[in-house]
Amino acid sequence: MLFDTDFLIEFAKDLIPVVLSGIGAFFLSLLLIWIIKQVAKTIKWIEPTDMNRLSKPISILFVLIGLFVSSKLTFVPLNEAWTQAFNIFFILSFSWFLIRILAIGREFLIRQYDISVEDNLKARKVYTQIRVFERILMVLVIILGLAFSLMTFESIRNIGASILASAGIAGIIIGVAAQKLIANLLAGFQIAVTQPIRIEDVVIIENEWGWIEEITLTYVVVRIWDKRRLIVPATQFIEKPFQNWTRTSADILGTAFIHIDYKMPVQAIRDELTKILDDTPLWDGKVNVLQVTDLTPNTMELRVLVSAKDSPTAWDLRVHIREKMVDFLQREYPEYLPKSRIDIVGNTIGHQPKGDIISAKVGS
């Protein structure tokens, strides 16, 4: 006979209880997930969408646990191949479950801090730490899950012993080959701990002005003011200088320079500046300074120093002041706008006046 009937009958008797237990465990997992969802809705500690993300890994884990328990209760031992497959599926499912838990935990913590408010320094600090540490833990879970899965193979365990014996040499080789990668990983970890930058910090790096949009373990994404994205290695924020305009607070000082004629009364411009600032919501009411900072042969330079709640507002305020000041000078003091003067002086040759021979003296 092609098949041993007695063997098939005995195999079915052994397998049917395990399969039925697995099916029962699957439906039990659905029931438990439904109960957890109802409890979550009542106490509102987890979002329904987050619970949906946990449904699949939880279902698979319950089925595997049900199969394992049923094999013990029915005294039906699993052969070596089934045992190894069970171990691998359980390890991978549990790793998947942990990754989903990390993502849900990240979103739960982030929801406690509103990053859209004006005074969001603490929120940005916590947000940065959560995102970076979540990525670190996620990488560790993936590496450990794959490592434990591979260790279920006897041949790989034997290879592992020999690899451990030469770990010193392997470590040196890997360290040299992956020096930059390891440096970036350490820099990403250092950024998460020391926080020279945070999410939505305003920075100037590589002569570009923008916001920190994303921080990973190896690189940082800077959102440039014109919607471009600058990808910067994490080590650059540790090893090289850069400007962080919102390191301790979001408010910032802005400057605007004005060049006018020497005859222009400075106090009139100072009074006009105060009127301009009082009439705009861009000014935060803290700093209002106008000083003569330089004298050139033709003009004097005035520096306007004002404050705003954040860097984008400061930029708009500087532009607004320049526009209003030009309008004020054109309207009230057009004769004191910067200009060049030419004095015509007649010369004489041999005591005879020569009106067509002149020299020009340019001055202020």
The span from the CA of 43 to the CA of 357, in Å, is 97
The span from the CA of 60 to the CA of 89, in Å, is 9
The span from the CA of 142 to the CA of 120, in Å, is 33
The span from the CA of 236 to the CA of 128, in Å, is 17
pTM: 0.49
Strand partners, 76: none
pLDDT averaged over every residue in the chain: 76
Measured over the CA atoms of residue 103, residue 106, residue 112 and residue 116, the dihedral's sign is: negative
CA-nearest of 254, 316, 239 to 280 is 316
pLDDT value at 32 more than 60? yes
Q: Where are the alpha helices (DSSP H) in the chain?
A: 5-43, 48-73, 80-110, 121-150, 154-165, 167-177, 179-194, 236-239, 266-278, 311-332
The span from the CA of 149 to the CA of 218, in Å, is 27
| DSSP 8-state class, residue 71 | H
**Residues 266 and 244: beta-carbon distance below 8 Å:** no
CA-nearest of 163, 341, 180 to 262 is 341
Percent of the chain with pLDDT over 70: 66
The span from the CA of 192 to the CA of 204, in Å, is 19
Q: Compute the residue count for the chain.
A: 364
Of the listed ranges 63-67, 108-112, 352-356, the one predicted with least confidence? 352-356
CA torsion 86-91-96-97 (nearest 10°) is: 90
**Residues 258 and 269: beta-carbon distance below 8 Å:** yes
Percent of the chain with pLDDT over 90: 16
The span from the CA of 146 to the CA of 139, in Å, is 11
Name the pLDDT band for 79 (thresholds 50, 70, 90): low
Q: What is the pLDDT of residue 202?
A: 86
The model's pLDDT over 198-256, given as tens digits with 9 standing for 90+, comes to 888 889 898 888 889 888 878 899 999 888 999 998 888 888 899 888 777 777 888 89
CA-nearest of 139, 141, 142, 136 to 191 is 136
**Residues 86 and 49: beta-carbon distance below 8 Å:** no
pLDDT value at 74 more than 60? no
Mention every residue, 6+ apart, whose C-beta is less than 8 A from residue 313: 282
The span from the CA of 43 to the CA of 160, in Å, is 47
